């Protein structure tokens, strides 16, 4: 009878040990690449969100009539380094801007939420005669800094605004910061 060749127990253990080492190395490479991908994806998501917020802010500033210091329905908020109050023409029933006959303007506020300071809030306060809808919504979250700067010491006399939004994210025990800035002018001033 011919003897059959077979693997001994030691040879099997060596093969399993080599396969385990290779699997652990490949697994750790995969996990580290997955973490890196998630970190970059999170930063891209935040940057994209900021870009959308800043684009909307530019549009709103260009549509506004003026920057005002406050309004009767602004809840004590005043325009400054961390708050922007814009005055807009009211909208008629066809949602077209209409020149106000008296002081019946609409207002839009941008500010950080006082209770949860990581949220950027946009609040629309329409005049009762306007067809614009009143709303308060979170424009962005994870905001670590919101700064409005003006080309005049008195913001109500400014025609150029620079808005800076900064986010800080803690990802995998590291804090990563992204900052975006936009400068725009009031067209209607």
Task: Flag whether pLDDT at 158 surpasses 80.
Answer: yes
**CA dist 162 → 10, 58, 138, 150 (Å):** 72, 10, 20, 6
Query: How far apart, in whole angstroms, are the C-alpha atoms of residue 51 and residue 148?
Result: 16
- Residues found in the chain: 189
Share of the chain above pLDDT 90, in %: 40
3-state SS class at 150: strand
H-helix or E-strand spanning residue 125: strand 120-125
pLDDT on residue 50: 81
3-state SS class at 83: strand
For the chain, the structural domain boundaries read 42-185
Query: How far apart, in whole angstroms, are the C-alpha atoms of residue 64 and residue 165?
Result: 21
pLDDT in tens, 85-136: 999 999 988 888 888 878 889 999 999 887 777 889 999 999 998 999 999 9
pLDDT in tens, 40-74: 887 787 778 788 888 989 999 998 988 999 988 88
H-helix or E-strand spanning residue 49: helix 9-63
């Amino acid at each position: 009878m011919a003897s059959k060749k077979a693997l001994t127990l030691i040879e099997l253990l060596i093969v399993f040990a080599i396969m385990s080492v290779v699997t652990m190395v490949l697994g750790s490479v995969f996990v580290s690449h997955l973490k890196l991908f998630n970190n970059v994806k999170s930063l891209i998501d935040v940057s994209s969100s900021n870009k959308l917020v800043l684009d909307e802010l530019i549009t709103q500033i260009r549509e506004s009539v003026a920057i005002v210091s406050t309004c009767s329905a602004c809840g004590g908020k005043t325009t400054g380094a961390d708050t922007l109050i814009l005055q807009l023409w009211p909208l008629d029933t066809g949602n077209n801007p209409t020149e106000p006959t008296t002081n019946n303007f609409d207002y839009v506020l941008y500010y950080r939420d006082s209770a949860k300071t990581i949220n950027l809030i946009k609040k629309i306060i329409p005049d009762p005669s306007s067809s614009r809808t009143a709303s308060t919504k979170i424009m962005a979250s994870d905001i670590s800094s919101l700064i409005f700067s003006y080309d005049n010491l008195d913001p109500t006399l400014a025609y150029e605004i620079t808005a800076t939004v900064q986010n800080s994210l803690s990802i995998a025990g590291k804090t990563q910061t992204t900052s975006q800035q936009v400068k725009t002018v009031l067209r209607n001033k």
